[in-house]
Structure 1
Amino acid sequence: MKVTVDEDRCAGHGMCLTLCPEVFDLTDDGWAVADPGDVPEGLESAAREAIENCPERAIRETD
């Protein structure tokens, strides 16, 4: 599983970082970014929770 953040939709709420800091980070400008690699085993549930709770629906799961 991989995740991506649509930078055009992200509003910098940081919910993803709160729910799954091992996968998500915020840039110096306050926008979310996702680790470009695979979500580590055992963190898939937390990453999906971040996807579901993103207020802007800016996070997508990819293969």
Structure 2
Amino acid sequence: MKVTVDASTCTGCGLCASECPDIFEVPELVAVVKVSEVPEDQKECVKQAAADCPVEAIKIQE
């Protein structure tokens, strides 16, 4: 699974980073993905973060 954040949509609210700190961080008002491939044990967390993103900026590729 790969995950990306649309920087033009992201508001930098930090919800994804609080839900999945091993995957997301918000260094400068826009979330970034810290890994190239999501580990198996983090996939559900990433799916939940994508579902919870208020602006739907998180995209998942299976």
Q: What is the TM-score of this pair, normalised by structure 1?
A: 0.90
Indicate yes or no: 2:42 matched with 1:43.
yes
User: What's the offset of the Cα at 1:30?
Assistant: 1.8
Q: Higher helix share goes to which structure?
A: 2
Indicate yes or no: 2:25 matched with 1:25.
yes
Matched residues, number: 62
Any unmatched runs of 5+ in structure 1?
none
Any unmatched runs of 5+ in structure 2?
none
Give identity over the alignment, percent. 37
What is the match of residue 7 of structure 1? 7
Q: CA RMSD in A?
A: 1.0
Q: What is the TM-score of this pair, normalised by structure 2?
A: 0.92
